[in-house]
Structure 1
């Protein structure tokens, strides 16, 4: 008989000491860019009236 997928034992190693500080900083920069863009567009809108 053929072995099913459940019978096979696979060794999956997970790296526990991964750091996400760079990702957090990148998300903050993108968020800051979006906020600055929206605020500048808002002030341009107010300046036209």
Structure 2
């Protein structure tokens, strides 16, 4: 009878954990740019209304 594959143990390598500070900064900058753009369009709309 064939042995089930689930019983086979595999080793996983723990790689050095990386920091995501650069990713967080990029996301904040992109979010800031989107908010500033929306506010600019909104105030432009109010000015021309």
TM > 0.5 fold call: yes
TM-score bucket (shorter structure)? 0.7 to 0.9
**Structure 2 unaligned blocks of 5 or more:** none
| TM-score, with structure 1 as normaliser | 0.78
**Structure 1 unaligned blocks of 5 or more:** none
Aligned equivalent of 1:38: 38
Please state which structure has a larger fraction of its residues in helix: 2
Runs of 4+ in 1 over 4 A off after TM superposition: none
Alpha-carbon displacement from aligned partner over 1:3-40 (angstroms, at most 9, x marks no partner): 22211111112324311111101111111111111111
| TM-score, with structure 2 as normaliser | 0.78
